[in-house]
């Protein structure tokens, strides 16, 4: 509200008496006043710099001359000061002339002071709002433009001109069709024609003056401006926003692909719940799919020992936006097993909201390895301590850092005295040099072996190698010292025994030939002579083997190859084992070559020959048998796997690899662990399979049969029996047969039986129709989703009056109850129109889908018509929101169609019962209304007339004998009684009109405070009679969306009711507060209050409740009932609160905007 102080009013009038009186009134109201007698003087006053004129009051009679008119126009055009005309006579010509001069209207000079001040305040407030609107209009960042009904420009802002590249003058001559790129002029006219007073927002393209197109968002509303209908539109350039949205979407898609294919578990959470996980995360937590994790609490996966730490980290990331350092935690898999993990987290933005990205590295095996390493080191240390050899460590200077207990036993010295010192004093003088060279050799080559003598006479063999840290830096020497004193003695004994072994050589089945480095025969045993037909070894001793091989080559199938291979083998001086040679007599010999080195000097070689002819024949027979077995294995349709007693793979056929999708390369490795991983990952019940396998391995002779079910729907028969050799188990044979087709056929038969049984049970339940129709509809949807094993569903009912479908119940919130669909619109509309069921496999890709599902994961949907005796009852829908949803089948359609037919009959019956109940309720209300109406006419309206007639008769007969005061007193009583009867009659007529529907409510946005003030003024006399104060505490900004007349009826009844029951000197207060799109109005008083048991009666038509006021005022009980009906007709709510002897509060709620929703 504009304040009165510092506001200057210029009064332009020649009439001195009026001017003086007006100045007195204005100054009394707090205004500063300036007077001018002519328009020219007024112009000069406005041009002065020392003051600001806020309002001009101008006598309309001063606007007749040319000069005066020009002065007025200059004031209006240049100084933008509101001008109100002063009119003495309210004739039509004067009013019309005032409208031509100024838009702020006129004031009648004969008006009261209150009207004059109120008019001035209203004009100042209106002008202030106009200035603010102009400022907002011209400073708006969006392109604001006003169009007439033909689309021509009425007014534009500079920002809109700049957006399209035109000047304001050029824009004023354009039509919207000249820059609108997406629609023709006729289409634009049609849009303007159907535009309402509700803001409409849509996207389109505008054409710039240079021809390029601009993406814009338009907000448009239809308004009345100075009796002209115009369209107020705001255009916002959203080109960059669309580009950003596109980039953001592409970025999010790239991020999702990156996360999905990342080899590391990555997840995103918002508000402490998982919103995105990749496949690695699903596998890490042992989930079947992402749905088992999405939406669950992150903290549920954290071990209790780490919960507080994780909560703090989440809080730090969320509030401070910091990256969380890597932390080692313990997590839970879904099956309860514990995972050791390294976890890092960073704040990110996900789908436009703050989120946290978590990256996990499973270190369970790593920690296990660390524990095993530590245990190994401890075992190693224990092993060294208990070793019979000397175990030692030296630092880089050759000093002892560790030595075990065996050193004391071997050296006879206390080793603790030698720690940190050199061990050289324990060696003989000669051995110290050997040991020193050994240390140098270790440092240069990494290892060394030295034999040394101790001063106590013992001989030790030292083997040493370098000790390095993780970076490869040398930090010392590790070594083992073995006491070889006894071994040295044994070597001498060994030489003695060699001659004895020579004797034994002659008794070997194999032939031995020993040649020296010059290929002279040194030794040949009898076995060699027997193989090659030599009568005595002495015949070839000291012979040249080169000559002997040339002589003997004729006995071999490949003569030259025999000689050449001998030369090649001897040249290489490398051991040769099991070389086969074929003789012309059919025999097969196996030959070994062993070169002999003494002190690393080549000293000859030994040939060993064995006759393996019999073994080759046996092996050939074995190969034939294996070939036959392989052919048998590969020709069978079953998959065969053979394992040994330890479970290691020994054989398999290709059918086995194909059936189990195992690469043959894996099976050829004979690695049963890798093969088992492939197997168990495919089975639905892997644990049971493994238990049965282990049970069979624990009983090697047992046989077993089983049926295996795969995750992909396949079925295998599995048979296993032991592989026996001489009645002893040497392995196990597994046979697998694919029986998928047979099992699916049996399962399909059983499912069909189950479906029929389930359908019978569901439809049988519908026979018991509940009292509540909504309960029935909800039960039908629950049974439909249960029938098809899905999560969501809903039902549309056909509205015969409107010819469309309306959502009656639904499990998903995107389809609210009351949502309407036209026939032919969307999936339900098509099903209703064609009366044929439909299945959509992926609703997102269906071009005719409803917009409410845009952006959701609604995939598969089935909808069927609900028909009863050929009449359309509605449409029944079952749907699923999941990326992995299973598609509906023709069998699903058949089952749901049958069920929908039964459900339609139940709904039809329930509707009939519901209609009967509604008619009964309406009849009861109608009877109560009629009784109330006749009761009021018979008693409340008729009874007071007896008193009124008595007073009138007294006045008529005794008028001459009554004094003026007595006449006045009777007149006052007569006026009071008639006024009360008039109010009762008015309420009765309004109530009757409401009951018959003859009142048409015309709601609009109404400032509440002014309406309250008007009602208070009309009731002031009544309140003053009881010395009751009425307080208007409603602020000027509070508005309601209501009919003017009906709102005043409610306010008048509630306030007069408070006056009636408030004692003299009491207080009545009217207040209001805004709640979202509603306004709550409260009338409170300090009256006598209402008993709790009576609160339920005061608004009921079927209960007569009326009490006398504090001044014995009579009532009918109709006023509050009338208020309730008016409020509820306008989608509002009214209630009362009261305490006896403390007062009452009556509160009603009405919409504050044209957007009306039911009030709970």
Reported as a single tens digit per residue, the pLDDT across 68-93 is 667 777 777 777 788 888 887 655 56
939, pLDDT greater than 50: no
pLDDT in tens, 536-575: 888 899 999 999 888 888 999 998 898 899 999 999 999 9
pLDDT band at 200 (very low <50, low <70, confident <90, very high): confident
- In this prediction, residue 1141 has a pLDDT band, given cuts at 50, 70 and 90, of confident
Cβ pair 896, 864 in contact under 8 A:
yes
Domain identity same for 894 and 778 = yes
Q: How far is 844 from 404, CA to CA, in rounded Å?
A: 76
| Average pLDDT score over residue span 754-763 | 56
- Mean pLDDT is highest, among 671-675, 686-690, 1096-1100, for 686-690
Among residues of the chain, what percentage have pLDDT more than 90?
A: 19
712, 785: one domain:
no
Residue 1122: its pLDDT value, please? 82
Pick the last residue of a domain from 99, 119, 136. 136
Q: What is the pLDDT of residue 446?
A: 85
Q: What is the CATH number of the domain that holds 52?
A: 3.40.50.2300
Measured between alpha carbons, how far apart are the two ends of the chain, in Å?
A: 34
Range of the domain at 541: 506-616
Residue 231 shares a structural domain with residue 280: no
Counting residues of the chain whose pLDDT is more than 70, the rounded percentage is 85
Query: Does the residue 666 lie in any domain?
Result: yes
Task: Supply the pTM of this predicted model.
Answer: 0.29
Rounded to an integer, the average pLDDT of 504-526 is: 85
Angle between helix 1044-1060 and helix 964-996 axes, rounded to 10 deg: 130
End position of a domain, from candidates 316, 338, 367: 367
* CA nearest to 335, candidates 370, 287, 401, 378: 287
pLDDT of residue 568: 93
The domain that holds 543 is classified in CATH as: 3.30.450.20
Q: Could you read off the pLDDT of 275-323 as tens digits, one per residue? A: 988 888 888 899 999 899 999 998 999 999 998 988 888 888 877 777 7
- Per the prediction, the chain carries an average pLDDT of 82
Average pLDDT over residues 423-433: 87
Residues 358 and 456 grouped into a single domain: no
Residue 1031: per-residue pLDDT: 94
**Is 933 a residue whose pLDDT tops 50?**
yes
12 and 83 in contact (C-beta within 8 Å)?
no
CA 559/CA 563 separation, integer angstroms? 7
**Domain count of the fold of the chain:** 8
Answer whether residue 1085 is part of any domain: yes
The answer on 358 and 262 residing in a single domain is yes
The pLDDT value given to residue 839: 95
Q: Are residues 725 and 647 in the same domain?
A: yes
718 in the same domain as 818: no
Residues 197 and 278 in one domain: no
CATH number assigned to the domain comprising residue 792: 3.30.450.40
Q: Is the pLDDT of residue 46 over 50?
A: yes
Question: Do the domain assignments include residue 1103?
Answer: yes
Q: Higher pLDDT residue, 250 or 876?
A: 876
258 in any annotated domain: yes
What are the tens digits of pLDDT across the range 617-664? 888 888 887 777 777 777 788 888 888 888 888 888 888 888 888 888
Q: Work out the average pLDDT over 703-723.
A: 89
Residues 6 or more apart in contact with residue 797 via CB below 8 angstroms: 777, 805, 806, 808, 873, 874, 907
Q: What is the pLDDT of residues 447-476, one digit of tens each?
A: 888 888 988 888 888 888 988 887 888 888
Distance CA 983, CA 986 (A): 5
Quick one: pLDDT at residue 852?
86
Instruction: Name the least confident of 382-391, 392-401, 615-624, 791-800.
Output: 382-391
Question: Across residues 587-610, what is the average pLDDT?
Answer: 91
* Mean pLDDT, rounded, for 983-1008: 72
Separation CA 1085–CA 1066 (nearest Å): 8
Pair 590, 664 in one domain: no
* Judgement on whether residues 725 and 765 belong to the same structural domain of the protein: no
Query: 191 and 100 in one domain?
Result: no
Q: Is 970 among the domain residues?
A: no
Categorize the per-residue pLDDT at 2 as very low, low, confident or very high, splitting at 50, 70 and 90: very low
**Same domain for 398 and 428?**
yes
Residue 672 lies in a domain: yes
Question: Please, which pLDDT band fits residue 1 given cuts at 50, 70 and 90?
Answer: very low
Half-sphere exposure of 897 (CA within 13 A, CB side): 12
Report residue 271's pLDDT band, with 50, 70 and 90 as the boundaries: confident
pLDDT of amino acid 797: 93
Arithmetic mean of pLDDT, 852-861:
89
Residue 1107 is assigned to a structural domain of this protein = yes
3-state secondary structure (DSSP) of residue 849: coil
Question: Residue 84 has what pLDDT?
Answer: 84
DSSP 627-645: HHHHHHHHHSSSEEEEEET
pLDDT for 893-925, tens place per residue? 988 898 888 888 888 887 877 777 777 666 666
Please state which of the ranges 15-29, 1059-1073, 1131-1145 shows the lowest mean pLDDT. Answer: 15-29
Residue pLDDT, tens place only, 806-840: 999 998 888 888 899 999 999 999 999 999 999 99
1024-1069: per-residue pLDDT in tens?
888 999 999 999 889 999 988 889 889 988 998 899 899 999 999 9
Q: Domain end: 237, 255, 285, which one?
A: 237
1100 within some domain: yes
Backbone angles phi, psi at 323, to 5 degrees: -70, 135
């Amino acid at each position: 509200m504009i304040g009165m102080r510092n506001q200057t009013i210029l009064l332009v009038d020649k009439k001195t008496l009026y001017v003086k009186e007006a100045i007195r009134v204005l100054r009394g109201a707090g205004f500063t006043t300036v007077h001018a007698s002519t328009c020219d003087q007024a112009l000069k006053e406005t041009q002065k710099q020392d003051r600001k004129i806020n309002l001009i009051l101008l006598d309309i009679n001063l606007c007749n001359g040319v000069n005066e008119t020009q002065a007025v126009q200059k004031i209006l055009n240049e100084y933008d000061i509101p001008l109100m005309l002063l009119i003495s006579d309210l004739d039509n010509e004067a009013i019309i002339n005032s409208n031509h001069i100024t838009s702020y209207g006129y004031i009648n000079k004969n008006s009261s002071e209150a009207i004059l001040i109120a008019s001035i305040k209203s004009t100042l407030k209106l002008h202030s709002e106009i200035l603010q609107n102009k400022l907002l209009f011209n400073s708006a960042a969006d392109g604001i433009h006003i169009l007439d009904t033909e689309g021509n420009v009425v007014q534009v802002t500079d920002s809109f001109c700049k957006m399209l590249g035109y000047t304001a003058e050029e824009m004023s001559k354009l039509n919207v069709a000249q820059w609108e790129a997406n629609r023709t002029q006729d289409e634009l006219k049609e849009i303007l024609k159907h535009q309402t007073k509700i803001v409409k927002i849509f996207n389109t393209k505008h054409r710039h003056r240079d021809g390029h197109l601009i993406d814009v968002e338009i907000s448009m509303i239809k308004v009345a401006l100075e009796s002209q209908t115009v369209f107020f539109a705001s255009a916002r350039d959203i080109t960059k926003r669309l580009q950003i949205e596109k980039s953001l979407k592409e970025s999010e898609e790239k991020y999702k692909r990156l996360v999905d294919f990342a080899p590391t578990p990555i997840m995103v959470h918002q508000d402490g719940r998982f919103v995105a996980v990749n496949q690695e995360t699903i596998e890490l937590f042992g989930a079947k799919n992402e749905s088992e994790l999405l939406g669950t609490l992150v903290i549920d996966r954290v071990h209790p020992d780490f919960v507080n730490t994780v909560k703090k980290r989440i809080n730090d990331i969320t509030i401070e936006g910091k990256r969380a350092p890597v932390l080692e935690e313990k997590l839970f898999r879904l099956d309860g097993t514990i995972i050791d993990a390294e976890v890092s987290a960073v704040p990110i933005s996900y789908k436009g909201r703050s989120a946290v990205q978590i990256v996990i590295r499973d270190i369970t095996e790593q920690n296990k390895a660390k524990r095993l390493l530590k245990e190994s080191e401890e075992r190693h240390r224990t092993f060294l301590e208990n070793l019979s050899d000397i175990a030692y460590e030296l630092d880089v200077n050759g000093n002892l850092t560790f030595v075990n207990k065996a050193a004391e036993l071997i050296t006879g010295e206390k080793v603790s005295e030698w720690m940190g010192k050199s061990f050289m004093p324990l060696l003989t003088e000669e051995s110290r040099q050997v040991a020193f060279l050994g240390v140098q050799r270790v440092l240069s080559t990494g290892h060394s072996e030295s034999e040394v003598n101790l001063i106590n006479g013992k001989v030790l063999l030292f083997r040493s190698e370098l000790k390095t840290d993780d970076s490869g830096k040398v930090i010392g020497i590790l070594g083992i010292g073995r006491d070889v004193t006894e071994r040295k003695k044994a070597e001498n004994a060994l030489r003695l025994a060699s001659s004895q072994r020579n004797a034994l050589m002659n008794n070997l089945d194999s032939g031995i030939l020993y040649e020296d480095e010059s290929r002279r025969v040194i030794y040949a045993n009898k076995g060699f002579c027997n193989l090659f037909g030599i009568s005595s070894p002495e015949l070839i001793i000291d012979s040249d083997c080169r000559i002997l091989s040339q002589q003997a080559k004729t006995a071999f199938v490949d003569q030259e190859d025999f000689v050449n291979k001998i030369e090649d083998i001897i040249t290489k001086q490398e051991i040769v084992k099991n070389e086969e040679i074929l003789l012309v007599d059919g025999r097969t010999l196996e030959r070994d070559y062993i070169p002999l080195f003494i002190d690393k000097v080549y000293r000859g070689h030994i040939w060993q020959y064995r006759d393996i002819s019999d073994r080759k024949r046996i092996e050939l027979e074995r190969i034939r048998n294996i070939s036959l077995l392989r052919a048998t294995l590969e020709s069978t349709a079953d998959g065969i796997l053979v394992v040994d007693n330890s479970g290691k793979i020994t054989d398999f056929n290709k059918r086995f690899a194909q059936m189990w999708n195992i690469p043959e390369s894996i099976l050829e490795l004979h690695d049963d662990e890798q093969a088992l991983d492939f197997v168990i990952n495919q089975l639905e019940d892997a644990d049971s399979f493994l238990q049965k396998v282990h049970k069979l391995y624990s009983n090697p002779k047992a046989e077993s049969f089983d049926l295996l079910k795969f995750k992909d729907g396949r079925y295998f028969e599995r048979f296993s029996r032991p592989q026996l050799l001489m009645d002893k188990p040497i392995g196990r044979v597994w046979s697998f047969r694919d029986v998928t087709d047979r099992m699916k056929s049996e399962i399909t038969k059983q499912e069909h039986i189950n479906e029929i049984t389930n359908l019978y049970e569901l439809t049988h339940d519908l026979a018991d129709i509940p009292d509540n129709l909504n309960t029935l509809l909800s039960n039908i949807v629950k049974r439909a989703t249960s029938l098809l094993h899905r999560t969501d569903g809903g039902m549309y009912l056909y509205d015969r009056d409107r010819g469309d479908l309306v959502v009656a119940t639904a499990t998903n919130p995107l389809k609210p109850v009351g949502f309407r669909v036209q026939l032919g619109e969307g999936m339900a509309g098509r099903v209703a129109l064609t009366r044929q069921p439909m299945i959509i496999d992926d609703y997102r890709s269906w071009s005719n889908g409803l917009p409410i599902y845009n952006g959701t994961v609604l995939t598969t949907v089935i909808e069927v018509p609900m028909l009863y005796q050929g009449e359309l009852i509605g449409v029944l829908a079952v749907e699923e929101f999941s990326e992995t949803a299973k598609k509906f089948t023709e069998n699903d359609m058949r089952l749901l169609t049958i069920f929908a037919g039964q459900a339609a009959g139940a709904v039809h019956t329930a509707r009939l019962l519901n209609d009967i109940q509604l008619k009964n309720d309406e009849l009861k209300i109608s009877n109560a209304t009629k009784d109330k109406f006749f009761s009021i006419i018979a008693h409340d309206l008729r009874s007071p007339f007896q008193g009124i007639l008595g007073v009138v008769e007294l006045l008529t007969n005794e008028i001459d004998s009554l004094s003026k005061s007595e006449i006045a007193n009777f007149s006052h009583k007569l006026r009071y009684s008639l006024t009360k009867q008039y109010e009762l009659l008015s309420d009765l007529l309004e109530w009757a009109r409401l009951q018959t529907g003859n009142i048409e409510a015309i709601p609009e946005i109404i400032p509440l405070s002014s309406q309250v003030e008007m009602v208070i003024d009309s009731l002031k006399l009544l309140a003053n009679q009881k010395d009751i104060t009425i307080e208007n505490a409603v602020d000027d900004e509070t508005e309601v969306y209501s009919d003017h007349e009906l709102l005043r009826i409610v306010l008048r009844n509630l306030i007069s009711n408070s006056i009636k029951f408030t004692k003299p000197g009491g207080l009545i207060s009217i207040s209001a507060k805004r709640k979202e799109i509603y306004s709550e109005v409260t009338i409170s008083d300090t009256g006598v209050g209402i008993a709790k048991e009576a609160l339920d009666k005061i608004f009921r038509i079927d209960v007569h409740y009326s009490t006398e006021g504090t001044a014995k005022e009579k009532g009918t009980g109709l006023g509050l009932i009338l208020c309730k009906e008016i409020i509820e007709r306008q989608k509002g709510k009214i209630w009362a609160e009261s305490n006896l002897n403390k007062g009452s509060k009556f509160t009603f709620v009405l919409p504050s905007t044209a957007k009306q929703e039911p009030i709970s």
